[in-house]
Amino acid sequence: DVKVTQSSRYLVKRTGEKVFLECVQDMDHENMFWYRQDPGLGLRLIYFSYDVKMKEKGDIPEGYSVSREKKERFSLILESASTNQTSMYLCASRLTGIAYNEQFFGPGTRLTVL
């Protein structure tokens, strides 16, 4: 069974803290993605990675960085958390290929920055 896991379901941090969100997939997928989801705005792509060590900016990368040292793990880093980064963060993975394959999502991390 396909599995994408995220390190925490709920997280509360203070302004200025460095925050690490971890995502692990067990499907040997090449592509991994980080989104944030806010009411009325839908899912917005923060960063994506097409393979190990590779990363590309998405639509809203400001204030975030990522790391992909191993194929199964994709980390999202908030260098200095701010209140406007309070959101639901969703990780996803996808098998690469000629056709655009289904993206599988993790359960999400609800981050609150105080």
Q: Please give the full DSSP string across 45-83, using - where no structure is assigned.
A: EEEEESSTT--EE-S--TTEEEEEEETTEEEEEESS--G
The residue range among 16-24, 61-69, 71-79, 102-110 that interacts with other proteins, by the rule CB under 8 A, is 102-110
Applying CB under 8 A, among 1, 10, 42, 84 the residue interacting with other proteins is 42
Part of the chain binding other proteins (CB under 8 A), chosen from 13-21, 61-69, 70-78, 105-113: 105-113
Give the shortest CB-16-to-other proteins separation in angstroms: 29
Residues in CB range of 47: below 8 A, 6 or more apart: 33, 34, 55, 56, 57, 58, 61, 64, 65, 66, 76
Q: State which residue, 59 or 79, has the beta carbon closest to other proteins.
A: 59
The CA–CA distances, whole Å, from 92 to 15, 21, 41, 108 equal 26, 13, 18, 10
- Per DSSP bridges, beta strands 104-105 and 64-70 are unpaired
Does the protein bind other proteins through residue 8 (CB under 8 A)? no
From 17-25, 42-50, 60-68, 76-84, give the range in contact with other proteins by CB under 8 A. 42-50
Binding site for other proteins (CB under 8 A): 31, 33, 35, 40-45, 48, 50, 56, 58, 90, 94, 100, 102-103, 105-108
